[in-house]
Amino acid sequence: MNLDTDKLRALTLDLDDTLWPIWPTIARAESALQAWLQRHAPRVTERFDLAAMRADREAVARERPDWAHDLSALRRESIRRLLVASGEAESLLDAAFSVFLAERQRVDLYADSLPALQRLAARWPLFALSNGNADLVRIGLQPWFRGSLAAREFGVGKPDPRIFAAACERLGCAPNEVLHVGDDLRLDVHGALDAGLQAAWVRRDGKRGREDDAALGARCWQGPDLLTLADRLGA
């Protein structure tokens, strides 16, 4: 796609799986939670192994689709259920969730992420737009971003056009003046395009699928990493 760089005034960026791989991060956070529970609520780990804990978290997500935009609420409810089912004190919930959330902020950036952010932020305001519960301050990336908006804070998540519109409004830009960058075809690419933004699809796996058709190719930039995008934008 020929991105309209002449109109470009700002970028919105997804976080999980765009700037860092999310599943190694979640796996570490779940392991840290399990270790904490083993010390402070041992009946939970006696009854539920890590796989069973993950299965319960998935069950909560199925039962509470109204919380799809709030991953913290889903995780907290899963921990609460495990405590109650095991006969442990529900009052341990806040401390247990804090352990999980702190480890969730310990991410391993992709090698290209920081140099690309530095180049892009030198040219345009960057704004984080995420369905997750990453904290840019705790991760250490806040200096490169003008602001952020999370689905939990806003009440709906991507691909809902309202969250894209809110990000553009906070940036003081028209949608077609903003390029959204993300890894997820439905949430990031189609969500942004449907909301009137330009879109960049970061495809780190290098795989090509049936969505690589002429129609999408004409509407969306695709590339393997953020440095390739920075090069394309002339940042």
Decide if 27 contacts 50 (C-beta within 8 A).
no
Q: Would you state the structure tokens that stand for residue 31, as one six-digit string?
A: 């392991």
Query: What is the predicted pLDDT for the residue at 215?
Result: 63
For 97-151, give the DSSP string: HHHHHHHHT-----TTHHHHHHHHHTTS-EEEEESS---HHHHT-GGG-SEEEEH
- Which of 4, 6, 14, 66 is the catalytic position? 14
Distance CA 210, CA 217 (A): 11
* Residue 16 bears catalytic tag: no
Is residue 226 pLDDT above 70, yes or no?
A: yes
* Total Cβ atoms within 10 A of residue 182: 25
Distance CA 80, CA 146 (A): 35
What are the pLDDT digits (tens) for 44-62?
999 999 999 999 999 999 9
Query: What is the predicted pLDDT for the residue at 1?
Result: 59
Distance CA 150, CA 12 (A): 12
Is residue 207 pLDDT above 60, yes or no?
A: no
Query: What is the predicted pLDDT for the residue at 33?
Result: 97
Is the pTM for the entire model greater than 0.85? Answer: yes
What are the pLDDT digits (tens) for 130-188?
999 999 999 999 999 999 999 999 999 999 999 999 999 999 999 999 999 999 999 99
Q: Is 28 left (phi over 0), alpha (psi -120 to 50) or beta?
A: alpha
